[in-house]
Structure 1
Amino acid sequence: MAEIFVISIGLSLDVFVAVAYLGAGFSRVDRKNLILLSLLFGGMQLGALLAGNLITLLPFFPGPGSRHIAQRWEVLTVLIFAGLGVYMIQKGIKKEEVLERREDAIDWKKVIILSVVTSLDALFAGVGFGFLDTEVIAQALSLFPVTVLSTVLGVYMGYMLGLEHKRKAYWTGGILLLTASIDVVIHYII
């Protein structure tokens, strides 16, 4: 359960940075919009995670028959989590200048697209969890509340501090996902 929680935090830090961009533009935080943003991002992350789990149930993936086949999927899981970690760290390395400007109106079409894009890593993580036969309920009970909390914190951090700490959030998420990949190696492969 600890690795599920660590991966949930790592995945939600991408959402944290995305909503910090929104929060940096707010002249005040509207609670109704904050609730809607939290439900949207949490729901998209959860849906993507479940879709990733369902992908592993497709017939072209062999069932948990032999240990050799299962070990191949565990190696793929390590590669998925490590790849996501490296991707997050690369996003943290980029020195991207962003012009912060006040904009209280939320363009929901753009936000929905943003929530889909930030959920792609949750889709891949769902595939990884599916290969490890991790309980879907445990994943959902971890990822959804962590993402909701990350959304709330991201909006408020962006509102109060701007985008000053976004690179640190990416680095932290990447390190957590790399740590999770090492944990999978230790628990399932060695």
Structure 2
Amino acid sequence: MDIFSMFFLAVGLAMDAFSVSITRGMILKCNLKYALTIAIFFGAFQALMPVAGWLAGEQLAALVEVWAPWIAFILLALVGGKMIYEGLREEDEDEDVCRVFSIRDILILSVATSIDAFAVGVTFAFLNTPILLPILIIGLVTFLLSFIGVYIGKKAGHLFGSKIEVLGGLILIAIGIKILLETML
């Protein structure tokens, strides 16, 4: 696989992370250090999952194909549901308060957005593709797109008011449904 193909593969794999990053950025009300945190987690998971898939090879290929979309959907629906719940709760929000998220949430989102990268790693094993260059490209592209996504979400989120978290949750659930539909159709 040439570098050009690897780059486009990386962009394709990073699209879910990019979308989720935008939704997370919409609810941030403080500096962009959280953009860096999200970008590091998403980039690292997106780079490590192909390695796990590559190592698993043939043994888990059929299992991953069947269950990966459902796992991604469930994780995204749970986090999206939590965001909707928190967005609908009545509370006094101070615009200067930094709204943060837990490491657990970041981990769940990192896994949910990188499960497809595991299957790509299995494919790399089948094709006898060396793994180092693809994972570097995948990790870097995901890191950059996630960082940019949080920044875009942060800028756009303030335009929509304090209930943007509900929209973010709905978007996460929609991404999960999209993942399911793509595998069923």
- Post-superposition Cα deviations, 1:163-186, rounded to whole Å, max 9, x if no partner, equal x8211x111111111110011101
Counterpart pick for 2:150 among 147, 151, 158: 147
In 2, Cα distance between the equivalents of 1:90 and 1:4? 27
| Contact 1:52 1:125 (8 Å CA) reproduced | no
Task: Provide TM-score, normalisation by structure 2.
Answer: 0.63
Structure-1-length-normalised TM-score: 0.62
Shift of 1:8: 3.0
AA at the equivalent of 1:140: F
Paired position in structure 2 for 1:184: 179
2:113 maps to a residue whose letter is F
2:24 aligned with 1:14? yes
Alignment-mate amino acid for residue 139 of structure 1: T
Distance 1:78 1:64, change over 3 A: farther
2: distance between equivalents of 1:59 and 1:11? 23
Change (3 A) 1:42 1:6: same
C-alpha spacing 1:119/1:43, structure 2 compared with 1 (3 Å): farther
Counterpart amino acid of residue 126 in structure 1: S
Structure 1: unaligned runs, 5 residues or longer: 23-36, 104-109
Gaps (5+ residues) in structure 2? 1-10, 121-137
Question: Which residue matches 2:76?
Answer: 81
In 1, Cα distance between equivalents of 2:57 and 2:182:
17
- Equivalent residues in 2 for 1:10-89 (5 A)? 10-19=20-29, 22=30, 37-38=31-32, 40-53=33-46, 56=49, 63-65=56-58, 66-89=61-84
Cα pair 2:21 2:147 within 8 Å, conserved: no
Q: CA RMSD in A?
A: 3.6
Whichever residue aligns with residue 175 of structure 2, its letter is A
1:149 Cα deviation from its structure 2 partner: 2.6
Return the offset for 1:121: 3.3
CA distance in 1, matches of 2:54, 2:184: 19
Matched-pair identity in %: 12
Deviation at 1:99, TM superposition (A): 4.8
In 2 relative to 1, CA 68–150 (structure 1 residues): closer, same or farther, beyond 3 Å?
closer
| SS, match of residue 165 in structure 1 | coil
